Structure 1
Amino acid sequence: MTTTPTIAVLGVGNILLTDEGIGVRIVDELQRRYSLPEHVLALDGGTAGMELLEPLEGLDKLIIADAVRVGQPPGSVVLLQGDEVPKFFRTKISPHQIGLSDLLAALELTEKAPKAVALIGLQPVSLDTGMALTPEAEAKVPEMLELVLAELAKAGVVPQAIEGIA
């Protein structure tokens, strides 16, 4: 029997633009290190927008990992929750956020918005072309992953660590 996801961890970003891909890297790391219950969806959203509508409809909780421009020093990690999340999308850092902003608005309009939304973000050090995160961003992956795990714990989910993964 397949359980419908009620919680999603969505990593977004363009992995071709150094730190812009941090959200995708966080979801990759979550899936590599932890086994998630059936009702928790880990989703690499890349630079997608409206095509994510269906998997995100009616969730109890949506956790987004992304690069953010919030006026903090490069490499800063931030946690935005609830009403703070839509406000963040008024200042775009990259084209994918236009789609994500539209997606969240469409979920609201259809009355299928997640009951709770959290955004875990990193103020990028660089958005230059490149497949690797900057060393500063790479160093923040554990902190961001811990924030994702803390948000999951608030929703009553404690993922099981996969043995043998450091």
Structure 2
Amino acid sequence: MRIVVLGVGNILLTDEGIGVRAIEELGRRYQVPAEVDLLDGGTSAMELLDDLANCNLLIIADCVRAGRAPGTLLRLKDEEIPALFRTKLSPHQVGLPDVLATLVITHEAPEHTVLFGVEPESLATHMGLTPIVEAVLPVLVDAIAAEIAAAGIAIPAR
């Protein structure tokens, strides 16, 4: 089994960096087993193809504008995810749907994909999360760890 946890976002735009911060925090709080790759995708796009190809489970952590209260955690799985991309949700969004679509076309798509999105409070230029989104970070990290455990991979806390 191969699981990829992909954190995406721009850490220079306040809450847009939540995905990257989640990957960092997951590595600090949990003993990540060899079957799990933590990938800081930043604002990358097509250069992620090789890293994401043919994994059993892709878990994405990102900032998602879905019209909910700031700090709201959203979980979408498999066929629910493309519907999310019908409207622009984050500044780097153009790349991620293209990557996922390319993996489908090349028959290298993950068997399953789970997206954890956090509704931002601010996307202003600033390094660091807003307090409301910062408060959700431990919940997001625990949700990612639970998803890994549900896939049958032990991920003990440090």
Q: What is the distance in 2 between the residues matched to 1:152 and 1:39?
A: 10
- From 146, 152, 156, the counterpart of 2:152: 156
Q: Is the 8 A contact 2:65 2:90 kept in 1?
A: no
Deviations along 1:82-134, whole A, 9 cap, x unmatched? 11112112222233211011000000000100000000010100000100100
Q: Secondary structure at the match of 1:52?
A: helix
Question: 1:129: which partner in 2?
Answer: 125
- SS, match of residue 92 in structure 2: helix
Q: Tell me the percent identity.
A: 53
Q: Is structure 2 residue 85 aligned with structure 1 residue 89?
A: yes
Distance 1:106 1:7 in 2: 19
Q: CA deviation at 1:57?
A: 0.4
1:80 to 76, 83, 100: 76
Write the letter of the residue equivalent to 1:140.
Answer: V
Contact 1:60–1:115 at 8 Å: present in 2 too?
A: yes
1-side partners of 2:50 and 2:24: how far apart? 21
Residue type matched to 1:107 in 2?
L
| AA partner of residue 79 (structure 2) | D
Which segments of 5 or more consecutive residues in structure 1 lack a partner in the other structure? none
| Equivalent of 1:107 in 103, 107, 113 | 103
In terms of mean alpha carbon deviation, does 102-111 or 67-76 score higher?
67-76
- For residues 4-153 of structure 1, the aligned pairs below 5 Å read 6-153=2-149
Contact 1:69–1:91, Cα closer than 8 Å, also in 2:
no
Deviations 1:11-66 (A, max 9, x none): 00000000000000000000111221111101100000000000110010000000
Please give the alpha-carbon distance, in whole angstroms, between the structure 2 residues aligned to 1:160 and 1:131. 30
Report the 3-state secondary structure (helix = DSSP H, G, I; strand = E; otherwise coil) of the residue aligned with 1:8: strand
Runs of 4+ in 1 over 2 A off after TM superposition: none
Structure 2 distance, partners of 1:36, 1:75, is: 26
Moved more, 53-62 or 93-102: 93-102
Contact 2:64/2:90 (CA < 8 Å) preserved in 1? Answer: no
User: Normalising by structure 2, what TM-score?
Assistant: 0.96
